Structure 1
Amino acid sequence: MPGEDRAEQGEEPAGAPAEERKENGDSKGTVPEQSAAAGAQEVEFVHPEGGWGWVVMLAAMWCNGSVFGIQNAFGILFLSLLREFGSEDDDDLRFRTAWVGSLSMGMIFFCSPIVSVFTDVLGCRVTAVGGAAVGLVGLLASSFVTSLGPMYFTYGIVFACGCSFAYQPSLVILGHYFKKRLGLVNGIVTAGSSFFTITLPFVLSGLLERVGLQNTMRVLCILMFVLMLAGFTYRPLLPVKPGNTRTGSRFPPLSKMFNINIWKSLGYRIWAFGIPAALYGYFVPYVHLMKHVEERFGKEASKEVLLMCIGITSGVGRLIFGRAADYVSGVNKVYLQVTSFFVIGLMSMMIPLCHMFGGLIAVCLLMGLFDGCFICIMAPIAFELVGDKDVSQAIGFLLGLMSVPMTVGPPIAGFLRDRLGSYDVAFYLAGIPPIVGGAVLCVIPWVEARRKRREKEEALNKDQDVTEKMMEPEKAEQEARSKTSESVL
């Protein structure tokens, strides 16, 4: 386990000349120096842009892979749950079973505002390790469940809450080590879920056939145990926020735990509304596509190939668009998300129109490519909208708002299938929210450009006021002199 001493990383001392650090290719930021002396000066913080950061990146990649790989492969578990806990002809079984996966995905995001507070107070390492341990307990408990009711609690709440506490620190810690390469690193990290999405469906199918549902979940516990070990690599570099100096507690006042300043940004408010609005149909294909393929092409169809296609192109998309985002200035990165939502919405509507399996593969390839684009640039956009200091809670609140559409979308699709006898209408409706949400996001660059113009004008007016105030004594002196000369005359 890495020690706490920052000097072990080979990081330059704080007093190193700025020229030396610039030559090393490091990125700079300004952070307050943690000193007991009053009036502590601000020192430059240097993002290592590598070093131990690459180990942290691999650990965060495993976190994304294990958490969302299991979630994205729920379509395979969904079929097994249908067979395990009831008859597939049960009218409401799909609706009730879909709640297990959607509740799990929703809780991962619902807990995020609370996780952001824990991350700020306890740090990324403690939060991630504790979350992975809770997720391990929840998944292990799910392997002993024999009905859907307890599964809602063990898998949908306990396991998901643990995943949430393990996942969010993996996004925040990257900002400690990278700035110039943050888009690329986020792309690599989020590609972890693509790798797991490619491989897990085949692994789960084989395990379910050989050892059954309960033992399969016990095997998945290995992923959570490794995730717990990976959390120990999250060595923080940015200074810890001061606690409550009045009481001597390390915990700041409640009013400072929840940072409401992020909501003062109109661009962030639009972003925090547009993203959840786009996600009402996002998780529907991951849950119901496998069952749709069985109904349309038969049980012998290689349905796992579709998840593999989504996973492969999603990983490619994260790498490509993650690197491309580094070359897109400021909040204009939002346009990449807009494009991805438009394509995801159209591809969802195309699923019922595919009467050949090859056409469905093409749809999944495109859907995965732009799914990777949407995910990998979420953190860089948050950094652009609210800055480094507030990014933890900005991401937390956004993920919390995302929990509602991620939770209700799949059960609604299952309800429509139970009532209409087909998934066609469900997939058509699932394609509308991404298009609407993408249209809302188009406004953000214009809003941010207007805000910057206003701030520039205010700064200019303030400079003019300061100049006028500085000139007032001289004007008064000149007027006094002129009055004196007039009186003499």
Structure 2
Amino acid sequence: MAKAKRARSTAPPDGGWGWMIVVGCFLVTICTRAVTRCISIFFVEFQTYFTQDYAQTAWIHSIVDCMTMLCAPLGSVVSNHLSCQVGIMLGGLLASTGLILGSFATSLKHLYLTLGVVTGLGFALCYSPAIAMVGKYFSRRKALAYGIAMSGSGIGTFVLAPVVQLLIEQFSWRGALLILGGFVLNLCVCGALMRPITLKEDHTTPEQNHVCRTQTRDFKRVSPCTTLTNKWVQTCLCCSLQQEYSFLLMSDFVVLAVSVLFMAYGCSPLFVYLVPYALSVGVSHQQAAFLMSILGVIDIIGNITFGWLTDRRCLKNYRYVCYLFAVGLDGLCYLCLPMLQSLPLLVPFSCTFGYFDGAYVTLIPVVTAEIVGTTSLSSALGVVYFLHAVPYLVSPPIAGWLVDATGSYTAAFLLCGFSMIFSSVLLGFARLVKKMRKTQLRFLAKESDPKLQLWTNGSVAYSVARGLDQKDEGSVAMAVPGYNPT
């Protein structure tokens, strides 16, 4: 399949076709994250039809979520080496195929493979490339654009949940899965909207990759079976991957990756155990479901409003701090949750947790872009979402084990809260150490030579005056034999 023609631009346009990219990413989050959440509505139907317990049935949702995050780097590789359009269209076809084949399932293992693995892999090919495209089209309004795009998860869940329940009642779970398979094909339409763009900092990378591919093709024509050709191909492939994932050696990104593991562990169990906890403290079924609705709606508000706020001039340079603030406050909400044992107290908790959950989800791609830049954003987001996979898979079972062992939800909630607070503190401590090192280098530079200047990245460079002095010394040394400037 031929690559799409790339639009040329020296800087992110911050508008124009960029808003269509936001719309496309908004629809992608509906078709991936919202549909994944709505799979839980099928649980009772699967349990009744296949006569299995909750633990075995719950693996369907866990496999879909885990595959979506686990294979996110694969989505980045496909979009980088083919195009974002091809990757999302291919993912839409795979996801739709998985849902359609799942409607013919005769056992839970069949659903694990089709609805879990195939559909999850299709979602992975769509999710991170679509999010990365928003970062390429926006700079000044990046947080707002991400807020609108990421709100598709909450809005989609709010709209699709009753629709899916109605489809199950009218057409059974098989018919509902079949219709969802057709709905997910809209990912192909979303992929068509993702028009590639080449920014100023991207101009060198495609040319280098093109030269590498051309040289490899020429070598294959000359001697397709020689050892020299194989070594050359391996060398070019290693160079390409090294350029694509060079950010993995950045200390800032390593710290972000470790913090994401702890953050992902903490954020997942609440969506599983909020309703059971509310029921355990005497809240009715309808009121417990209402708490989840509040959480979803406020999450949407947090996506959009926090993105708009952090795009303001007063906060634009402090998006990193805002991200830490949002993650840390969600951790504090967790620590307070065991003391909230009535509906009037749980409602403010749902509002606060939901708002800051939407806030930091919006800022994850923004913070990642600040660390690695827009050129490597797609690959970096693939790695970041890949790191969500294992915590998403293991944190709900660990929390359930703690509930069974202690007889209460306190230990599970405290562990999640401290995990999110540690994630925030780790990033804050790393940023503080970096600033202290910069200050120390600046001070040492001034002490050693007042003519030395320190650039913003912390590296020491000679000033223009220093360079002129060296030239003068060199000319004097040439004119006067034996001259020593020391």
Q: TM-score, normalised by structure 2?
A: 0.80
Aligned to 2:105: 145
The offset of 1:80, in angstroms, is: 4.3
Contact between 2:136 and 2:374, CA under 8 Å: does it hold in 1?
no
- Indicate yes or no: 2:111 matched with 1:110: no
Which amino acid is the alignment partner of residue 222 of structure 1? G
Contact between 1:102 and 1:408, CA under 8 Å: does it hold in 2?
no
Per-residue CA distance 1:70-92 (angstroms, 9 max, x = gap): 233454344444444436xxxxx
| CA 1:476–1:482: 2 relative to 1, 3 Å | closer
The offset of 1:362, in angstroms, is: 2.5
List aligned pairs for 1:41-120, cutoff 5 A.
45-86=10-51, 93-120=53-80
- Indicate yes or no: 2:446 matched with 1:460: no
Cα distance in 2 for residues equivalent to 1:147 and 1:348: 38
Q: Please state whether the residue corresponding to 2:459 is helix, strand or coil.
A: helix
Which amino acid is the alignment partner of residue 70 of structure 1? V
| CA 1:458–1:343: 2 relative to 1, 3 Å | closer
Cα distance in 2 for residues equivalent to 1:375 and 1:266: 22
- Indicate yes or no: 2:241 matched with 1:257: yes
Cα distance in 2 for residues equivalent to 1:206 and 1:137: 22
Q: Please state whether the residue corresponding to 1:460 is helix, strand or coil.
A: strand
Contact between 1:75 and 1:286, CA under 8 Å: does it hold in 2?
no
Contact between 2:283 and 2:342, CA under 8 Å: does it hold in 1?
no
Aligned to 1:160: 120
| Higher mean C-alpha displacement, 263-272 vs 429-438 | 429-438
2:376 alignment partner, one of 375, 385, 390:
390
Cα distance in 2 for residues equivalent to 1:428 and 1:207: 39
The offset of 1:425, in angstroms, is: 4.2
| CA 1:408–1:6: 2 relative to 1, 3 Å | closer
Aligned to 1:200: 160
Aligned to 1:470: 471
| CA 1:319–1:128: 2 relative to 1, 3 Å | same
Aligned to 2:254: 269
Q: Please state whether the residue corresponding to 2:216 is helix, strand or coil.
A: coil
Cα distance in 2 for residues equivalent to 1:389 and 1:186: 17
Contact between 2:74 and 2:124, CA under 8 Å: does it hold in 1?
no
Aligned to 2:217: 248
User: Percent identity among equivalent residues?
Assistant: 25
Q: Please state whether the residue corresponding to 2:197 is helix, strand or coil.
A: coil
Question: What is the root-mean-square deviation of aligned Cα atoms in Å?
Answer: 3.2
1:322 alignment partner, one of 307, 322, 342:
307
Contact between 1:74 and 1:101, CA under 8 Å: does it hold in 2?
yes
Contact between 1:197 and 1:308, CA under 8 Å: does it hold in 2?
no
Aligned to 2:263: 278
Cα distance in 1 for residues equivalent to 2:341 and 2:131: 40
Aligned to 2:274: 289
Aligned to 1:479: 480
In structure 2, list runs of 5 or more residues that go unmatched: 219-232, 442-453
The offset of 1:421, in angstroms, is: 6.2
Aligned to 2:395: 409
In structure 1, list runs of 5 or more residues that go unmatched: 8-13, 15-43, 88-92, 484-489
Cα distance in 2 for residues equivalent to 1:77 and 1:296: 27
| CA 1:397–1:5: 2 relative to 1, 3 Å | closer
Cα distance in 2 for residues equivalent to 1:314 and 1:235: 29
The offset of 1:375, in angstroms, is: 0.8
Aligned to 1:355: 341
- Indicate yes or no: 2:429 matched with 1:443: yes
Cα distance in 1 for residues equivalent to 2:136 and 2:346: 41
The offset of 1:372, in angstroms, is: 0.8
Contact between 2:31 and 2:187, CA under 8 Å: does it hold in 1?
yes
Which amino acid is the alignment partner of residue 411 of structure 1? P
Aligned to 2:94: 134
| CA 1:347–1:74: 2 relative to 1, 3 Å | farther
Contact between 1:199 and 1:308, CA under 8 Å: does it hold in 2?
no
| CA 1:364–1:177: 2 relative to 1, 3 Å | same
Per-residue CA distance 1:257-295 (angstroms, 9 max, x = gap): 253421232111101110111211322222343455556
2:84 alignment partner, one of 124, 127, 137:
124
* Greater helix share, structure number: 2
- The number of residue pairs the alignment matches comes to 441
- Indicate yes or no: 2:143 matched with 1:169: no
Contact between 2:4 and 2:83, CA under 8 Å: does it hold in 1?
no
Q: Please state whether the residue corresponding to 2:185 is helix, strand or coil.
A: helix
Contact between 1:325 and 1:333, CA under 8 Å: does it hold in 2?
yes
Q: TM-score, normalised by structure 1?
A: 0.80
Contact between 1:75 and 1:288, CA under 8 Å: does it hold in 2?
no
Contact between 1:176 and 1:236, CA under 8 Å: does it hold in 2?
no
Which amino acid is the alignment partner of residue 374 of structure 1? Y
Cα distance in 2 for residues equivalent to 1:293 and 1:197: 21
| Higher mean C-alpha displacement, 107-116 vs 367-376 | 107-116
